């Protein structure tokens, strides 16, 4: 009997040792090949945007939308946000993707489109190249894609792992930019979590304007609100510096995207009836955005819904984390969130109309 127990104990120890060795080897491999983009990288510009100058005397329209890799429509919850599912069925994924692209193409063809969470080659979206598909639907636009989440294998959830993830941000424009850069921000995650999480960034695109200045358009996706104000401030410090430098040059500066925080003037009570709105605390550090800059968001409609459960309008908590910030030399003419019912993504698109002063 003692011999049998001793053998069983040895077997258990060996199994535990093998499992531990596999975990250590995997973490070492992931560390060696961790995605660490340079601080600043020039991006390839594709497509057929106009080479003419951006007119300074006309209204300009911009749309921003976190498309949630076309995998987080209203029927979905998400394991990584407290739900159970990792990806939709292939047919449902296709319906989200086609619905989302159709929605984009019917938004009166805005001058600029800023997209976040666009998959280029991921298991969760059946290895579909969403970048190519979206670019093909906007053939008369210039396009720039920045990879910010590149994981060779995400091991969770244990019995249905997310697997390979390759995703990023996409900027589309009717005009061809003079220059486009990928700016990495400091990681808000510690080791080993940072090996599997997005490396937050922004795409900075410069467009020559007819009055001799430049329009600097920034497509942003910052870390979520669980990381705390201090880490978020560290992450956004580069953004704050670049915004200030470009404005001091006399340029027009627009930052739009998924901030993962409420804009400072946000009040959940202003969201129209029928939604269950909430406020994120403590919010964006007050010194990130200069006081004389403008916040542009729609106070009556949310842009984000919680994905711990499938979406139900009167039950699911919602808030606003997608918005724009404009330099003082820009006139804000209109802001509107497009109400999609969160049918294709856990975010709703937001649009603005502006004029360069």
Neighbouring C-alpha atoms within 13 Å toward the C-beta of 149: 27
Residue 6 in this model has a pLDDT that exceeds 90: no
% of the chain beyond a pLDDT of 90: 73
pLDDT in tens, 190-207: 776 777 788 899 999 999
Average pLDDT over residues 13-23: 68
Give the pLDDT of residue 159: 87
User: Cβ atoms within 10 A of the Cβ of 31, count?
Assistant: 12
pLDDT in tens, 269-313: 999 999 999 999 877 877 888 889 999 999 999 999 999 999 999
How far, in Å, are 225, 272, 275 from residue 302 at the CA level? 16, 9, 8
Tokens of 126: 């059946």
Give the pLDDT of residue 31: 63
Domain extents for the chain? Answer: 1-32, 38-356
Give the H or E element holding residue 147: strand 142-154
Encode 47-62: b = buried (16+ Cβ within 10 Å), e = exposed.
Answer: bebeeeebebeeebbb
Cβ-Cβ contacts under 8 Å for 202 (sequence gap 6 or more): 169, 183, 185, 218, 219, 220, 221, 239, 255, 257
Encode 287-300: b = buried (16+ Cβ within 10 Å), e = exposed.
Answer: ebbeeebbbbbbbe
The residue among 115 and 19 whose pLDDT is bigger is 115
pTM: 0.93
Under 8 Å between Cβ of 112 and 255: no
Give the pLDDT of residue 310: 98
Specify the fold of 38-356.
Deoxyribonuclease I; Chain A (3.60.10)
Average pLDDT over residues 333-342: 97
Question: Where residue 230 falls among pLDDT bands split at 50, 70, 90?
Answer: low
pLDDT in tens, 57-93: 889 999 999 999 999 999 999 998 999 999 999 999 9
How far, in Å, are 123, 132, 166, 167, 206 from residue 152 at the CA level? 10, 21, 8, 12, 32
Residue 13 in this model has a pLDDT that exceeds 90: no
């Amino acid at each position: 009997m003692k011999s049998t127990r001793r053998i069983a104990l040895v077997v258990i120890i060996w199994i535990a040792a093998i499992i531990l060795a596999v975990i250590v080897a995997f973490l070492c491999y992931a560390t060696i090949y961790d995605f660490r983009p340079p601080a600043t990288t020039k991006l390839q510009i594709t497509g057929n945007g106009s080479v003419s100058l951006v007119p300074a005397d006309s209204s300009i329209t911009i749309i921003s939308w976190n498309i949630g890799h076309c995998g987080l429509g209203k029927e979905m919850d998400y394991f990584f946000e407290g739900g159970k599912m990792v990806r939709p069925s292939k047919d449902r994924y296709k319906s989200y993707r086609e619905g989302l692209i159709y929605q984009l193409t019917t938004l009166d063809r805005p001058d600029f489109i800023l997209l976040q969470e666009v998959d280029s080659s991921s298991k969760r979206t059946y290895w579909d190249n969403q970048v190519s598909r979206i670019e093909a639907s906007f053939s008369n636009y210039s396009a720039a894609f920045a990879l910010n989440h590149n994981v060779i294998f995400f091991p969770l959830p244990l019995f249905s792992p997310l697997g390979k993830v390759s995703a990023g941000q996409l900027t589309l424009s009717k005009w061809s930019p003079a220059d486009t850069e990928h700016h990495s921000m400091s990681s808000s995650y510690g080791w080993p979590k940072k090996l599997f999480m997005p490396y937050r960034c922004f795409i900075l695109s410069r467009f020559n304007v007819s009055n001799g200045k430049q329009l600097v358009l920034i497509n942003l996706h910052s870390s979520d609100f669980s990381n705390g104000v201090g880490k978020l401030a560290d992450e956004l410090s580069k953004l704050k510096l670049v915004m200030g430098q470009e404005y001091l040059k006399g340029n027009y500066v627009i930052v739009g995207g998924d901030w993962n925080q409420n804009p400072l003037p946000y009040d959940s009570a202003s969201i129209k009836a029928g939604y269950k709105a909430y406020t994120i605390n403590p919010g964006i550090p007050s010194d990130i955005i200069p006081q004389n800059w403008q916040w542009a968001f729609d106070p009556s409609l949310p842009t984000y819904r919680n994905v711990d459960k499938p979406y139900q309008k009167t039950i699911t908590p919602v808030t606003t984390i997608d918005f724009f910030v404009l330099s003082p030399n820009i006139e804000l003419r209109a802001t509107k969130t497009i109400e999609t019912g969160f049918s294709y993504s856990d975010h709703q698109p937001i649009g603005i109309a502006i004029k360069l002063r």
